[in-house]
Amino acid sequence: MKKIIIYHNPQCSKSRQTLEIIRKKGIKPEIILYLDKTFSPNELKDIIVKLGITPRDLLRKGESEYKENNLKNLNLEDDDLIRAMIKHPKLIERPIVIADNKAIIGRPPEKVLELISDFQIT
């Protein structure tokens, strides 16, 4: 049986909508409140690999921390961006939903259906 994990921010409407879609399918995901979690670099790298994106793609560019830390600087290495996201988890795009070795960002929330469409409830 697949385990579904959602990195969730209850203050975010997209995150709440994504969680609601998952629950309406009868799935009880593991909910991780990522703003309260301290990621290790390897954990965040693993999520990025599962998403099939780059660390820069995971950044929320509208956040004040993005501007204050000059994260638009293209000379920054991936590890620099990962360190910034660990220090300021608000910078991490949300919500992230993981099933096995695949992951999606729930924007729009309906995108989660691609990930959970073959999920078997047992």
- Statement to judge: residues 24 and 44 lie in one domain: no
With CA atoms as reference, report the closest residue to 45 among 58, 64, 35: 58
Whether residue 117 is predicted with pLDDT greater than 70 in this model: the reply is yes
3-state SS, one letter per residue, for 87-122? HCHHHECCCEEEECCEEEECCCHHHHHHHHCCCCCC
pLDDT of residue 120: 58
Task: Read off the CATH number of the domain in which 47 is found.
Answer: 3.40.30.10
User: Are the C-beta atoms of residues 120 and 111 closer than 8 Å to each other?
Assistant: no
- Which residue has tokens 């509208």? 62
Domain that holds residue 80: 39-92
With CA atoms as reference, report the closest residue to 112 among 11, 27, 9: 27
- Statement to judge: residues 48 and 6 lie in one domain: no
Instruction: Read off the pLDDT of each residue in 33-39 and give the average, rounded to a whole number.
Output: 93
Please provide the distance, in angstroms rounded to a whole number, between the alpha carbons at the two ends of the chain.
Answer: 7
- Statement to judge: residues 43 and 76 lie in one domain: yes
- Statement to judge: residues 44 and 88 lie in one domain: yes
DSSP label at 87?
Answer: H
Whether residue 64 is predicted with pLDDT greater than 70 in this model: the reply is yes
Instruction: Quote the percentage of the chain above a pLDDT of 90.
Output: 89
- Statement to judge: residues 2 and 20 lie in one domain: yes
- Statement to judge: residues 88 and 107 lie in one domain: no
3-state secondary structure of 31: strand
Instruction: Quote the percentage of the chain above a pLDDT of 70.
Output: 96
Task: Read off the pTM.
Answer: 0.92
Q: Which of 1, 4, 7, 12 is catalytic?
A: 12
Domain count for the chain: 2
pLDDT of residue 122: 45
Active site residue 12: yes
